[in-house]
Amino acid sequence: DLWNLETRKPLLECNPLNAMVLKYMTLKKTNLCVAVDETNKEKILQTIQSIGGYVCAIKLHADIIDDFDQSFIDELTTLSKHHQFVIFADRKLADTGNTVELQLTHGSLHIADWANVVTVHSVPGPPILQSVLNIIKQNKALKGSLLIASLSSKGALTDAEYSKKSLEMANDAKNVVSGFICQKRPSDNPEFLYWTPGVNELKSTDGLGQQWRSIEDAIKRDGNDIIIVGRAITQSQNPVEVARDYASRAFELWKSR
Ligand code: UP6
């Protein structure tokens, strides 16, 4: 059974980013990634400080942080080492190769210097992955990328054909692509990790097109490995307890699959 963790582990560990993710997942018994979509660095750091023990990754949208600066990066990096999680920049890159290289290394965000993994849209085609690889080779914090096979928003244009083509792109670039952002696992290839947003146990939509489903559907029915959870945790009454609960439920479901 290729989905058995012990059988699958050596396959995943060939990829430097997945080796890191898997180490934290098995050590901390969690396949939870929390999306901390706050706009103030102190608030973000406080949230990470409190839930950091229950996650394998922390996902950020750096471009929504009002006071993003080097001290934020330094504290984030310290927290990631202390709590042992991967730093995930959800930049959703989608441009021509040269521009993508500049977006990863320059500007006020210079993502490749602090993020271990970044999201990439497949819409520009294979050259985008070559550019991400060029930056990964520079030995910065960035170790891998997740290709967006499908989006969770209502009416997304990422249909089955799009997901299939994204998979073909990833198969030709396994040294760059560690896995996917997807709703349903687009492949049975156990060498990739499948990360899924759109998870909330209490609500099914936010009124702005987001589509949420349960942890069980995300992992068992849809075949994903890692759940990405935002507001269900960060806007709950007790983020620490909810994070602990989501992490333990998701991990049990993943192990038993
Ligand atoms: N995200 C999605 N759906 C996608 C891709 N990315 O929701 O298809 C991201 C959002 C947000 C997080 O940008 O940061 O995942 C989900 O947060 P939520 O649980 O609060 O909706």
Helix, strand, coil tally for the chain in percent (to 5): 45, 15, 40
The residue whose CA has the least distance to atom 9 of ligand 1 is 197
Please state, for a pLDDT cut of 70, what percent of the chain lies above it: 100
- Cross-strand partners of 59: 35, 88
Binding site membership for substrate: which residues?
Answer: 37, 59, 152, 210, 230-231
The pLDDT value given to residue 112: 98
Tokens 């499948």 sit at which residue? 194
Residue 195 confidence (pLDDT): 99
Catalytic residue among 29, 92, 174, 220: 92
Q: What is the pLDDT of residue 1?
A: 82
Give pLDDT, residue 55.
Answer: 99
Q: Is 95 part of the annotated catalytic residue set?
A: yes
State in Å: Cα 218 to ligand 1 middle. Answer: 14
Over residues 40-56, the pLDDT tens digits come to 999 999 999 999 999 99
* 41 tagged catalytic: no
- Ligand 1 close to Cβ of residue 32 (< 6 A): no
CA distance 111 to 115: 6
Is-contact 169 188, C-beta < 8 A? no
The interface predicted TM-score (ipTM) is 0.99
226-229/193-196 β-pairing: parallel
Tens-place pLDDT, residues 64-86: 999 999 999 999 999 999 999 99
Backbone φ and ψ for 212, nearest 5 degrees, come out as -105, 150
Pairwise CA distance, residues 243 & 54, whole Å: 6
How far is 23 from 114, CA to CA, in rounded Å?
19
The residue whose two tokens read 């054909």 is 161
pLDDT tens per residue, range 117-176: 999 999 999 999 999 999 999 999 999 999 999 999 999 999 999 999 999 999 999 999
pLDDT band, residue 2 (cuts 50/70/90): confident
**Paired residues of 148 in beta bridges:** 121, 181
Q: What is the pLDDT of residue 220?
A: 97
Interval 227-249 mean pLDDT:
98
pLDDT confidence of residue 130: 98
Q: Please give the average per-residue pLDDT across 79-103, as a whole number.
A: 98
Measured distance CA(218)–CA(29) in Å, rounded? 18
pLDDT at 257 over 90: no
Backbone angles phi and psi of 59, in degrees to 5: -105, 130
Mean pLDDT of all residues belonging to the chain: 98
In the residue annotation, 74 being an active-site residue is answered as no
Range 226-237 average pLDDT = 98
Tell me the H-state helices in 52-211: 70-83, 97-105, 127-136, 160-171
